[in-house]
Amino acid sequence: MRRSVVIDTDPGIDDAVAILLALASPEFDIAGITTVAGNIGIATTTRNAGRILALAGRGDIAVVSGAPAPLSRKGFDTADIHGNDGLGGVGFPEPLAPPAEENAVVWLAAHLDRRPQKSLDILALGPLTNIARLLLEHPASAARIGRVVVMGGAVREPGNIGPRSEFNLAADPEAAAIVLRAGLDLVLIPLDVTRKVRATRADTTMLKAAGTPAAIACADLVDAYFQSGDGRESRPLHDPCVMLHCIAPTLFGHETLKLSVDTGDGPDAGALIPDEPGGAEVDVATSIDGAAVLRLLIERLARRSV
């Protein structure tokens, strides 16, 4: 079923691959892209969203700038992974249009209010600050969201920013706590599954052979992940798993888990705490057919048309 979606993102190498995947997939009608500070500052993430759309020739999709910082703490800097431009130095054209003048939270609320109830999903690829602010400032509008699919957290795996904490949730633990306990129709895609999706040199060769601008750009983006890894396989392609879950949910296994978020000041701020009293019941992807998911990703990105 074709779904209307807003992509909330902090591009980001794997965010860029995820957005290009969504643009290449007929399952998605992309109503807009809202940006958040995360992998890099808000000015750069917003520009990058426009640049990704420009590569795909989609200046018709709105880019709306959102939260420049977490709700109540300082964010992270991941230039060592994503490069100073957030896109690993891969060449992208400049945006075809400036970002919308509205703030992302105001834009989201207005967009939800004028659409049928539950007809708009949010695909969250970065810190959850924008969605938390929407819940706090426009609760009636937030109640109209269809589904939220979030890349974030680690359940039984170690973290990637702290011993048990994952970057997106750790970047704004308070926002993550608000979103998880809000009672939304929410699916969490944690490191437990995203770490099983890693590209090889054969995958990037296939993408380059496809010859389309999007496929070549994705090959170059993944190559940037090789340069920051060990050279045998890429870093995990975390964010595309959100789109892949929407396209082929049967490739993922799920559990309903009772989870809270560590909002302390220690190294595990943002970590998921299972089975704590008062925790929220969350639909969590806990297993994945990694080979099939990666094959689907490469095949979609290599297609010449949809």
> Which stretch of DSSP H or E encloses residue 273?
strand 272-274
Task: Give the residue carrying structure tokens 């079923």.
Answer: 1
Residue 82 annotated as catalytic? no
CB 42 within 8 A of CB 74: no
CA distance 174 to 170: 9
CA distance 40 to 31: 24
Count other Cβ atoms within 10 Å, centred on residue 264.
11
End-to-end CA distance of the chain: 15
> Given 82, 111, 238, 245, which residue is catalytic?
238
Q: Which two tokens stand for residue 138?
A: 């426009």
CA distance 216 to 259: 40
Total count of residues recorded for the chain: 306
CA distance 207 to 214: 9
Edge-first strand listing for the sheet containing 120-124: 62-65, 28-35, 3-9, 120-124, 148-151, 186-189, 280-288, 252-261, 272-274
CB 196 within 8 A of CB 296: no
**Which residues are known to be catalytic?**
238
